[in-house]
Amino acid sequence: MRFVILALLVCLVAIAYVSAAPAPADEQIFSDNVEAFHPSDDSEFSKKLLKKTLIILKVKKLKKLLG
């Protein structure tokens, strides 16, 4: 019984400690500054997406051949 109470107390202290810590105020999420956006980043993303799609299609084809 003591162990359960001690575990509960430790959890409550941990929750209180985490909730008392100040949260970082990252205001860049809310700003409407678009200078950081570069179209080249978008093309890099589409290349990665294309690679993933091709890998998935190859795996599906291989499963179809084996199964």
Coil, strand or helix at 20: helix
Range of the domain at 45: 39-67
The structure tokens listed for 16 are 């209180």
4 inside domain: no
Cα–Cα distance list, 24 to 17, 21, 29, 31 (Å)? 15, 9, 12, 15
pLDDT score at 6: 94
Residue 1 lies in a domain: no
Residue linked to tokens 């978008």: 42
14 assigned to some structural domain: no
Distance CA 65, CA 41 (A): 37
pLDDT in tens, 19-37: 887 766 655 555 555 555 5
User: Tell me, what DSSP letter sits at residue 60?
Assistant: H
For the residues 11-17, what does the mean pLDDT come to?
A: 92
Number of domains in the chain: 1
Q: Quick check: is 46 in a domain?
A: yes
